[in-house]
Structure 1
C-alpha cells in the first residue's frame, strides 16, 4: 500500500486471530461492518462458519470474510472492485498466512454471474446508495441450507427469493442487517 494512501484499522473479534488488527484503505464509501454488528452476526452464525465455503461480496475492508476465516471457514473468496482495497485484502491475507482465501479484484456482480457454484455462506454488504444489493441477490444460485447475510439501508426493501427464510434480523435508524437460510 502506498504511503500516500491513508489507512484505517479493523479488529478481528473472535477465533484464531482474535484481537488482530488489519489495515484497510481510507476510501470514500468503504465502511467496515461495525464491531458490535459483527459480534451479533457471528453469534448468529456460531455453529455455521467452521468448514464453510464463504463468499464475501463487496468485501471492502474484508471484515466479514476475515472474521469467518478466523473462526474456521474452509475457504473465503473476497470480491472487491476497488483496486487499493483489493490490494490491501491480499496483503492482509499474506500477513495472516491465510492460504485458504483469495481475492477477486473486480466487479462482484460479474463474478457472481460467472461463478454459479454453490457456497455455504454469502455476505452481501454492498456500498449504500448504489443499487447493488438487488442485482446481487438475483445473481445468487444457492443450495438449500446455504446462509445469506445482507446489510442494507433501513429505507431499502429488497425483493427476496421465496425460498429465503429469515432467521434473524436487526434494524437501526440507518441500516438493517439480516440473516437468511435457503430452504
Structure 2
C-alpha cells in the first residue's frame, strides 16, 4: 500500500493486520481520487473508520489542507500517526480514537468538512447511517462530498433525501463506491 500521487507520491504505508481492518484496494483508491481530483486542493477531509489513514493521507498528498482521522482502534491510530509522520503530514492531521457516533455527537457543529470518506467494516452496513449522522451533526456544508465504500449496491435503500445528489456509483468486485454531494438549502445556512 502506498501514496499514489502528489507530494508524498510512492511512499509506502503500514497497515494493521486483522479482520477489522480492510484497506481500500489500490484500484478502488485510484478510481475514487480520479473522481475527486478537482475537489481536493485547499479542502478539508474527514476520514471516518480511518484504518491505516491511507485515504486521508492521499488527500493531503493531493492538496487537501487538513485531514481528521477517526478510528475506534488504538492500534489503528498508532499506525495512522506513524504513516502521517512518514509522509510529512502529521502537522496537517488531527487524530482521535473514537467510535464514529461518539465523535459526531461530541464534535457536532464545531467544524465542517469539504470531503467525508466513510468506509466502515462491510458487515456492519452503517455507511449511510454515518453519512446521515455527519449531516445531522452540522458537519457538512453546501457542496460537501461524501464518498461511501461498502458492499451495498443501494447504500441509501429506502432513504429519500433531496439534499443528497448522487454524483457517481461504481462497482469494483464486491465493493461499491457511491459519491454524493450535499446540497444544503439556503435557509439552513
TM-score, normalised by the number of residues in structure 1: 0.88
Q: Does 1:119 align with 2:113?
A: yes
How far has the Cα of 1:103 moved from its partner? 1.2
Q: How does 1:132-171 map to 2 (within 5 A)?
A: 132-141=126-135, 142-155=140-153, 157-158=155-156, 159=159, 161-171=161-171
Q: How do 1:31-180 and structure 2 match up within 5 A?
A: 31-98=22-89, 99-116=91-108, 117-141=111-135, 142-155=140-153, 157-158=155-156, 159=159, 161-180=161-180
Unaligned runs of at least 5 residues, structure 2: 184-189
Q: 1:4 corresponds to which residue?
A: none
> Unaligned regions of 5+ residues in structure 1, if any?
1-9
Number of paired residues? Answer: 174
1:156 positional shift: 5.5
Give the conservation status (yes or no) of the 8 Å contact 2:20–2:121.
yes
Offset, 1:81 = 0.6
Question: Once the 2 structures are TM-superposed, how far is the Cα of residue 131 of structure 1 from its aligned partner?
Answer: 3.4
TM-score by length of 2: 0.86
Q: For the residues of structure 1 that align with 2:55 and 2:148, how far apart are their CA atoms?
A: 11
Q: Distance in 2 between matches of 1:29 and 1:112?
A: 21
Deviations 1:75-108 (A, max 9, x none): 0000011111111111111222311102111112
Separation (CA, whole Å) in 2 of partners of 1:53 and 1:140: 14
Q: Is 1:21 aligned to residue 15 of structure 2?
A: no
Which moved further from structure 2: 173-182 or 64-73? 173-182
- Report the equivalent of 2:187: none
Report the Cα offset of residue 173 of structure 1: 4.5
Greater fraction of residues in helix: 2
Q: Name the stretch that deviates more: 142-151 or 132-141.
A: 132-141
Is the deviation greater in 134-143 or in 31-40? 134-143
Whether the aligned pair in 2 keeps the contact of 1:90 and 1:102 (CA below 8 Å) is no
Q: Is the 8 A contact 1:23 1:88 kept in 2?
A: yes
Helix, strand or coil at the partner of 1:29 = coil
